Amino acid sequence: MRRRCLLAFALFAVPVAAAHAQSSASTGGPDLRSPTQGDEVPYIQTPQAVVDKMLDLAEVGPDDFLIDLGSGDGRIVITAAQERGARGFGIDLDTGLVETSNAAARRAGVAERARFFARDLFDTDLREATVLTMYLLPAVNLQLRPRLLAQLKPGTRVVSHDWDMGEWRPDAKAVLEGLTKPVMPIQASTVYLWIVPAKVAGAWKVQLKGATQESMEIEFAQRFQEISGVARRERGRTLLQSAHLRGAEIRFAVIDETRRQSEPLHFFGRVFGDTMEGTTGAGRRWRAERKNS
């Protein structure tokens, strides 16, 4: 079984490596998307240098709770606990690997903060995570994607070794060269980072506080972390400018098109479920509420 899985991983990796080379040449960056070829994920270790890069990219620290989906020998959770002071757990279908990982955590003196369970990743509650790590397969990442977006809190960092999330563009990416990787035909690793975006799609009523109370309606469109929108005010309708979402942090600008050469009104704020709050560039407080559709 293990031999068959490793073969599947390697067979998968060959066209991916070719696609990697081709797309790097044509677009200036790797695009590892490719047809699915089975979703049985074999046990292959992430090299320690890549583990460190994954934790660096996610800026893992003592306040973090890290979950590794398919945790193998436990190295990602144990490193996060030992070197970054984080807490967390790993889950794996292989009970032998789970025992090995719990024993390694005890030896490393972090058994209280790094725990391992025999569990299917699709049955795992992810809500506690502030960081989620994985080294799975592209098809599995795509299967997981809706659950990640539904269950993880805005701002949660998701890090994947080697495989991307299809149309969900990464917020950051790093490539490590010159590695010794078992099975894989390329001796390099790509690490992807996504920041789980807050859900802002739909209509919001925005109120500007201050001496003169003003209000407007904003209709946001959203695709993963990419947002755009239209603001409706008494004076008319205008497209939002520089709309940007990173986790729960949001910013956008509204131009008053009725006034020639007027400065855009910049909004900086944070999304809290069905409300947003923040300040404008001029220091005025604002608050938005989601309108019921």
Ligand X SMILES: C[S@@+](CC[C@H](N)C(=O)[O-])C[C@H]1O[C@@H](n2cnc3c(N)ncnc32)[C@H](O)[C@@H]1O
Q: Where on the chain is the footprint of ligand X (CB under 6 A)?
A: 41, 43-46, 68, 70-72, 75-76, 91-94, 97, 120-121, 135, 161
Looking at the Cβ atoms of 34 and 280, the one nearer to ligand X is 34
Q: How far is the CB of 123 from ligand X (least distance, A)?
A: 8
Distance CA 87, CA 102 (A): 14
Q: How far is the CB of 222 from ligand X (least distance, A)?
A: 29
Distance CA 99, CA 12 (A): 29
Looking at the Cβ atoms of 95 and 275, the one nearer to ligand X is 95
Give the contacts of 10 (CB within 8 A, at least 6 positions apart).
183, 184, 185
Q: How far is the CB of 75 from ligand X (least distance, A)?
A: 5
Q: Which H helix or E strand runs over 270?
A: strand 265-272
Burial call 5-28: b when 16+ CB within 10 Å, e when fewer: beebbbebbeebbebbeebeeeee
- Asked if 141 and 150 touch (Cβ cutoff 8 Å), the reply is no
Looking at the Cβ atoms of 137 and 243, the one nearer to ligand X is 137
Residue nearest to ligand X (CB): 70
Q: How far is the CB of 48 from ligand X (least distance, A)?
A: 9
Looking at the Cβ atoms of 92 and 220, the one nearer to ligand X is 92
